[in-house]
Structure 1
Amino acid sequence: MHVALETSERRRGAAGFVAFLSITFAITWGVIGSYIIWPEAMATRFGEISGSHPFYFLATWAPAISAVVLVLALFGISGLRGLLSRLLMWRCPPGYWAFILVVIPLVFIAGSLIKGGPLLTPLPPEGVGPMVAAMVMMLFLGLIGNITLAILVTPIFNAARGSLLLSMLFHWQLINPFWPDAQPWDSWILVGVAAAVVWWNRKTMFSREGAVTEIILREARS
């Protein structure tokens, strides 16, 4: 009986994964593909695509939209409540909090100083208001992850027992407009930091022990 239930869970998980990729791909490339295939028509009807365009938000939010749709379809409101409850999970080893709040900003500051730039992004003539507005927009916009970022955030996610709060804060720090332009040095420094994180967590990075694999808290399913 237990084996049958486990097999059923795996099949449902595989089907859910395929559905997640399909929905995400349809939303993202439905938007981006339309601007590639019919650039003039899309720009005339909906405006030029930019970082503040609603369609850009839609394409960026595609994974989150897919996740919410699937959780609602499979587990209903209680499942969605269990998923979103991870936003309230803040307990984590102090070292990871220091990494997010101190080390990440220092990466951008160091990269900027290497290329002769400022410590922080210079304020525009309009003052601090537009910077704060951009920071809030970035908070909601989120970040499309890559391999390096996934390596960095996975140990934090596991150490916090699946906290979405720390993952979001980590991504927000990476796109915070107050941090100076440090390209390409910030990318190289982050690669080095990622390598250090892998080495420091080498006993757990390549093992399932201690990994958080449940998307929805178990008590929320019942």
Structure 2
Amino acid sequence: MTSALDEAKAERIQLEQRTKALHQAEARLKVLVSELQHRTQNLISVVRSMVDKTARVSSDLTEFRAQFRDRLDALSRVQGLLSRPNEYDEVPFDALIETELAAMGSGMDRVRLNGPKGVRLHFTTVQTLAMALHELATNAVKYGALAQPDGQLSVTWDLQGNDADDRRWLHIDWRESGVKMPPTGSKPSGGGQGRELIEKALPYQLGAITNFELGRDGVHCTIAVPI
């Protein structure tokens, strides 16, 4: 009799443990589904914005197709980084900037990167910031430091605190030099949409503090984003 009761008790404990494990698995699944829905909605918003902005500055369908595919490729690279095993849906900034610049395919011997490794950014920050970096890199390759023989590109970053709100901020300094700039008063080549993204979209979407300047020998852009 005692043996039967012990067996029944053991079976009941096992059943309770399995039930608890099942409930925990269901809870994790709900969190994952919710996070996936959030990420999908965010991604759709980014793509919609890309379509609208690219269409606004494209003179014809051929130009739209080329520019949109280029930006879509940049977004795809971000998704590749986010798909790596990661508990918190975050991407290190150094991986983000290295991936984007490597995709440009030329002039990397004239690029200097300097900053701490492992500064992790949430996926909602990564997607928007990546598009800004892509615009800067594209402009550098087509018209700026990586398009001219004496051009140099320096990208530095560091992590700083903010006493006012207790948040940490990633400070990025993008500086091109050795670039032959157009005469004063003339319209510079490229950079229009990238500048708009940096000066308007980043502050609005991420609460970033940005500055974009056309210096005497190249573009100088600073971005401070809360993380």
TM-score calculated relative to the size of structure 1: 0.28
Larger radius of gyration: 2
Higher helix share: 1
Higher strand share: 2
TM-score calculated relative to the size of structure 2: 0.28
Q: Name which structure has the greater RCO, CA cutoff 8 Å, separation 6+.
A: 1
